[in-house]
Amino acid sequence: MKRCGNCGAMMDDDSLFCPECGMKQEEQPPYGQEQPPYGQEDWKPYKKKGGGVVVVCVFLLISLLIVGGIGFGIYRLIHPAREIVAEYDYDSGEDSSSSEPAYTEEEEETEDAGETRDYNDSEDEWSDDTDDGDDLTRGSVNAKAASEYVIPYSNQRLLGDSDVAGLSLREINYAKNEIYARHGRKFDSQELQNYFNSKSWYYGTIEPENFDVSLLTDVEKKNAEFLSDVEFSISANGYQLDQ
């Protein structure tokens, strides 16, 4: 006896058609071969499709991770070295030459005196990096400022004999009056007025009779008095203007 492959009805082994459903029966396996249970004749284990694609994707992902890791490692090796070099250059400032910079005799004298102040000609003032008692010399003023002022720093610190050494009587008079000119004072003397009109820093706005000496600082007042004393110690009549 055998079962119908379609409806499962029992029939004779030599029957070609099922007596129940009429389905033609396929050739049966040889005697002794186990007949699969009804409904499981064509069962096969399930296999996932696309397994090759998954393998390729995994391989590519691993490859990218390896390449990225190598690249990152190389970057980390190079980048810190650049930072160290940049930090060294920044801190050292100048390490390209072992030779000491050359100084002029005038600069050496200025350095020995402890001067680190720079003159700002456009603002007519010194930037003070040291104590007020530090010496300043005319040699530390740039060439343009030296041509614009007789004593550029007379509004910054008290003057002494060394500051007027070598100056002519006229220069001492001009140095005294440029203290007032810095504050916009005009002058009755045409000689002085013409002189200060030629200076880029001078702006005469106050008539002589309206000028108030309170505009001067204590340092400027004392320097003006000092220069006046020097002027009249050289000549009893001082410098004669407009001659």
14-28 tens-digit pLDDT = 777 888 887 777 765
The pLDDT score that the predictor gives to residue 137 is 53
- CATH code for residues 142-234: 1.20.58.1690
Runs of H (alpha helix) within the chain: 51-92, 105-112, 143-148, 161-164, 169-181, 190-197, 218-234
The pLDDT score that the predictor gives to residue 197 is 96
Q: Is 83 exposed, middle or buried (0-12, 13-18, 19+ CB in 10 A)?
A: exposed
CB 156 within 8 A of CB 125: yes
Ramachandran sector of residue 115 (left: φ over 0; alpha: ψ -120 to 50; beta: rest): beta
The pLDDT score that the predictor gives to residue 213 is 94
Average pLDDT over residues 111-118: 43
The pLDDT score that the predictor gives to residue 182 is 94
Q: Give the predicted TM-score (pTM) of the model.
A: 0.43
CB proximity list for 31: less than 8 A, separation 6 or greater: none
Residue 161 has pLDDT above 70, yes or no: yes
Residue 231 has pLDDT above 60, yes or no: yes
Average pLDDT over residues 47-61: 76
Average pLDDT over residues 113-124: 43
Task: Name the most confidently modeled range: 38-52, 93-107, 220-234.
Answer: 220-234
CB 193 within 8 A of CB 187: yes
HSE on the CB side for 158, CA within 13 Å? 6
- Domain extent listing, the chain: 1-40, 142-234
The pLDDT score that the predictor gives to residue 165 is 94
Residue 209 has pLDDT above 90, yes or no: yes
pLDDT digit string, tens, across residues 83-110: 444 444 444 444 444 444 444 444 444 4
Nearest to 181 by CA among 150, 160, 158: 150
Q: Could you give the CA distance from residue 97 to residue 74 in angstroms, rounded to a whole number?
A: 32
Percent of all residues in the chain with a pLDDT value above 90, rounded to a whole number: 39
Average pLDDT over residues 217-240: 95
Average pLDDT over residues 139-153: 72
Q: Could you give the CA distance from residue 223 to residue 160 in angstroms, rounded to a whole number?
A: 9
Average pLDDT of the chain to the nearest whole number? 74
Q: Could you give the CA distance from residue 35 to residue 14 in angstroms, rounded to a whole number?
A: 15
Higher pLDDT, 153 or 140: 153
The pLDDT score that the predictor gives to residue 39 is 54
Nearest to 216 by CA among 184, 194, 192, 187: 184
